[in-house]
Amino acid sequence: MVEIKTEPKIQGEKPKTGNVVGVQRTYTGKKRSGISISAMQNQKKEEQEAEGVEDLSNKPRTEFTANELMSKWNAFAFQLKDRGRQGLYITLTKRKPEIKQNFLLEFTIDNEIQNIELEDERSNLLNFLRVELNNYGIQLKVLLSKEDNSVKHLSSKDKFLKMAEKNPALHELRERLNLDIEY
């Protein structure tokens, strides 16, 4: 793989590393170029580190209500929907975030996929909420739901027994109609 570097524009500035682009030969002998995913991930991490952590201690921390939070939270979710991020929109609108001490928002998600999607937009979500609610002390804690979301495949008999637990009259109906639930 070949790493592309750009010359510094300012004397003494460190050259910037671009995407790693390489040339590969396929089984037919043809050349093919590609972009390294790991290089792109490293570049994204470097950009985030370069931005640094902004000092939010001297910024306003205006109180807000749960209704105000939900209004802004849903506004952000609708922006994501408009940008084509349907999955993240559903994740954000399925449950409500809980306001804890010191403006900590706890938000529960169902699985690791949702966590990955949310991490991609985490900084944008926090920035949006902080600006809109005029509270730069807002933090987000993501919790993974402990519910068992695995799909259970039930036989016909199991389905009937489960329904009959909720409505015992089904047993009487099965007997009157002489139905066989084990097919």
**Domains plus CATH for the chain?**
2-51 (no CATH), 66-144 (3.30.300), 151-183 (no CATH)
What beta strand segments (E) does 69-138 contain? 98-99, 104-109
Considering only 19-23, 65-69, 83-87, 93-97, which range has the smallest mean pLDDT? 19-23
- Integer CA distances (angstroms), 164 to 23, 26, 167, 177, in order: 64, 61, 5, 15
pLDDT in tens, 81-108: 999 999 999 999 999 999 999 999 999 9
